[in-house]
Structure 1
Amino acid sequence: MRKLYALLLTSAFLTGCAAAPSSSTQDEWKPDPHAGDHGPYPTNYQEAVKAWYEANLKDPESARYVSFSRPREEHAITNVHEHEAVYGWSTCATVNAKNSYGGYAGPKTRWFLLRDGEIVTTRDTAMGIIYRGRRINCDDGS
């Protein structure tokens, strides 16, 4: 009986270690970061980011803007199955604002992608990625 138990346990362990089936080629598609038109440099990027915070913070009047990175060319996938991406300019903003309890939550950094002066998408930098294989970069652009 112990041998049978050991055999079943070993079999279950090895099955759990089997490689997962590979994803389809559509799921592996990544856009060429230099192929798209990024549009004009967003001179209003700080105002656009502040407007986003105004619409999304619990207490927007408490916002203390710590820093903004200068925009850099960037892209994000909008539909991996249709091979669609949006190209624009990214910036990161660090903001300290009050939470639901009325205390400052501490500085938090968000990544924003702008196209034609409008925010297309945003991510919490704690996520670390824009999409699988593309990390958030908060370095200043040129």
Structure 2
Amino acid sequence: MKKIAIISALIASLALVGCATQPPPSPAQISSASYGELPNNYQDLVKTHFSATLKDPYSAQYTFLPTFKGYAQDGPWAPTGGRVTYGYIIPVLVNAKNSYGGYTGNQKHVFIFSDGVLYDTTLNEAYGRVKPVN
């Protein structure tokens, strides 16, 4: 009976270790990271992303908010295991039509442009894992 209790305690402790969050990047990592350049056509890149995901992409209305240099950290359960991506943060409000033809109202989406690739980091932003860099 004691063996079962000990094995159960070990399994529970290993499960809790897997729940540990990744530490945020250190100030040294933030200052030495490569943020790249924000392309002039970043708005077109974001609109191209939505053209593949919206039901009626031609009716979408976009409000681009000011971009800023920053980083996004994936959650501990993400396939990347908490990877940090450095680049330019692109927040945008999108008002698009739903299946009934009515507009949904502005929905905030957040992207990060890093190393020539546009990543959708809206979920990270919702959990407070998108941070600006001075």
Common topology (TM > 0.5): yes
Match of 1:58 in 2: 55
Q: Which has the higher strand share?
A: 1
User: Which is worse superposed, 50-59 or 29-38?
Assistant: 29-38
Match of 1:86 in 2: 85
Match of 2:33 in 1: 36
Q: Give secondary structure in 1 for the equivalent of 2:16.
A: coil
- What 5-or-longer segments of structure 2 have no aligned partner? 1-11
Report the TM-score when normalising by structure 2.
0.66
Query: Would the alpha carbon gap of residues 39 and 23 (structure 1) be closer, same or farther in structure 2, given more than 3 Å must change?
Result: farther
Give how far 1:88 is off: 1.7
The CA deviation string for residues 79-119 of structure 1, in whole angstroms up to 9 with x for no partner, is 22xx6432221111001110011111111110111113431
- What 5-or-longer segments of structure 1 have no aligned partner? 1-19
Q: 1:75 aligns with which of 72, 77, 80?
A: 72
Give how far 1:41 is off: 2.8
Contact map agreement 2:35 2:114 (CA 8 A) in 1:
yes
Contact map agreement 1:66 1:93 (CA 8 A) in 2:
yes
Query: Would the alpha carbon gap of residues 117 and 46 (structure 1) be closer, same or farther in structure 2, given more than 3 Å must change?
Result: farther
Q: Give secondary structure in 1 for the equivalent of 2:36.
A: coil
Partner AA of 1:62 in structure 2:
S
Contact map agreement 2:96 2:104 (CA 8 A) in 1:
yes
Report the TM-score when normalising by structure 1.
0.63
Rg larger for:
1
Give how far 1:28 is off: 2.6
Contact map agreement 2:93 2:106 (CA 8 A) in 1:
yes
Query: Would the alpha carbon gap of residues 64 and 124 (structure 1) be closer, same or farther in structure 2, given more than 3 Å must change?
Result: farther
Contact map agreement 2:72 2:121 (CA 8 A) in 1:
no
The CA deviation string for residues 111-134 of structure 1, in whole angstroms up to 9 with x for no partner, is 111113431233158x7225xxx2
Q: Which has the higher helix share?
A: 2
Query: Would the alpha carbon gap of residues 48 and 30 (structure 1) be closer, same or farther in structure 2, given more than 3 Å must change?
Result: farther
In 2, Cα distance between equivalents of 1:25 and 1:97: 39
RMSD: 3.1
Contact map agreement 1:48 1:117 (CA 8 A) in 2:
no
Match of 1:97 in 2: 96
